[in-house]
């Protein structure tokens, strides 16, 4: 009997160990998560599980837009973009906005109307998504597929914490993009400044966690609360990806503080 009890205890310990590394202090913060410190993995849970990226997809959209260049180009906002739901800048059909302003609104305020306006400036939305997927393949995001420029839930769209960490690293190597996601607020105006918008960063860590550099938030029904955050203290950098987070702000604060204190 004692032998059976001991065996059962060992099996229970083994099962627990299969779900969470014993040195991981945050095993239940999200459906999937990953922490890198100076590019090296520190803690992870289900980093290769397929998850809905939500607005984290906008990081790839921004890379495609930046690759296309011509950010001083004036973009005419179409009716479809103006009808975008969720987070919005408040654009109207016929508004004319510089591409760099739309890019800022998309990244800082996660504005879906700005995102769709950019996605439509060089062809159809489907063509833009194809460029997103081609770019993803070039940087080695082999477990990622995009289906919508803004990250709305789509059966053809998925990624992983590991791929999204890689996407964030590539994104943050672009100085213009990195500078935007580190700003607390940006001003966006139509071409003639008939309308001026002040956009606040959806990533509250930029304001409340000292050392935060960026990068992006996301939320949809299927994804739950998502976050990619990059912070630096004492010459060390911690990159955090939370997908389907339980309490993303408090948990992100605790994870980043502990990771950077090691």
Distance CA 17, CA 111 (A): 41
Check if CATH label 3.30.1360.120 holds for domain 24-261. Answer: no
pLDDT for res 262: 74
pLDDT for res 8: 37
What residues are paired with 33 via a beta bridge? 45, 242
* pTM across the whole model: 0.90
pLDDT for res 16: 39
Q: What is the 3-state secondary structure (H, E, C) of 74-127?
A: EEECCHHHHCCCCCCCCCCCCCEEEHHHHHHHHHHCCCHHHHHHHHCCCCCHHH
Q: Quote the tokens at residue 177.
A: 């993009």
- Report pLDDT digits (tens) over 150-174: 999 999 999 999 999 999 999 999 9
Secondary structure letter of residue 73 according to DSSP: S
Distance CA 155, CA 32 (A): 19
Q: How does 9-22 read in b/e, with b if 16+ C-beta sit within 10 Å?
A: eeeeeeeeeeeeee
Tokens 């879906």 belong to residue: 112
Q: What is the 3-state secondary structure (H, E, C) of 136-167?
A: HHHCCCCCCECCCCCCCCCCCCEECHHHHHHH
The alpha carbon torsion through 16, 163, 253, 233 (nearest 10 deg) reads 120
pLDDT for res 215: 95
Of 73, 119, 123, the closest CA to residue 99 belongs to 73
Which residues of the chain are modeled with pLDDT < 50? 1-22
Sign of CA dihedral 80, 85, 87, 89: positive
- Report pLDDT digits (tens) over 103-117: 999 999 999 999 999
Distance CA 228, CA 98 (A): 27
pLDDT for res 181: 98
pLDDT for res 27: 87
Q: Quote the tokens at residue 230.
A: 């990059």
């Amino acid at each position: 009997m004692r032998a059976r009890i001991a065996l059962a205890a060992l099996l229970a310990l083994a099962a627990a160990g299969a779900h969470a590394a014993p040195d991981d202090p945050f095993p239940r913060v999200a459906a999937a998560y990953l922490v890198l410190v100076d590019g090296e993995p520190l803690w992870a849970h289900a980093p290769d599980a397929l998850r809905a990226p939500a607005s984290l997809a906008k990081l790839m959209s921004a890379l495609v837009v930046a690759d296309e260049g011509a950010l001083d180009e004036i973009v005419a906002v179409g009716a479809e973009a103006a009808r975008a739901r969720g987070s919005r800048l408040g654009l109207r059909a016929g508004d004319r906005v510089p591409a760099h302003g739309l890019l800022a609104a998309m990244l800082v305020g996660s504005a879906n109307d700005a995102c769709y306006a950019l996605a439509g400036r060089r062809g159809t939305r489907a063509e833009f998504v194809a460029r997103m997927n081609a770019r993803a393949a070039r940087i080695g995001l082999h477990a990622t597929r995009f289906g919508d420029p803004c990250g709305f839930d789509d059966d053809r769209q998925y990624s992983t914490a590991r791929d999204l960490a890689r996407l964030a690293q590539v994104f943050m190597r672009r100085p213009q993009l990195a500078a935007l996601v580190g700003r607390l607020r940006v001003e966006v105006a139509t071409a003639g400044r008939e309308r001026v918008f002040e956009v606040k960063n959806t990533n509250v860590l930029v304001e409340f966690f000292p050392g935060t550099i960026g990068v992006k938030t996301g939320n949809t029904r299927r994804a739950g609360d998502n976050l990619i955050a990059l912070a630096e203290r004492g010459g060390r950098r911690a990159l955090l990806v939370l997908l389907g987070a339980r309490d993303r702000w408090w948990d992100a604060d605790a994870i980043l503080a502990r990771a950077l204190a090691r």
